[in-house]
Amino acid sequence: MTLQIDQLRLTLLNAAGHEHRISLIATRAAELLAGRIEKRPALGNPAFGNHEKASASLNLNLDAADDEQAAIAIADACLEAITLRL
């Protein structure tokens, strides 16, 4: 399955001083999302709708979340957006 997340709208609260974390968090979120999609075979089945483009929205406070918590929140938002398109 090829998945393109067309848009992920993140509002990063208190991001000043956390810029160095964004790439690591995004990479981990992608890993988590891939693992979750693999566990849900229906998401990879073309008969279950078009998930080539999905959008998600998330407010994320980097002062209150460690990298793993932030990555989980992003992966959850992406998976929810994909699932809603089914």
- Residue-level pLDDT, tens digit, the chain, 86 residues: 666 666 667 777 788 899 899 889 988 998 999 898 888 766 655 555 554 555 667 888 889 999 999 999 999 988 888 776 65
Residue ranges per structural domain of the chain: 4-84
So what's the pLDDT on residue 52?
52
| Tokens standing for residue 73 | 């929140």
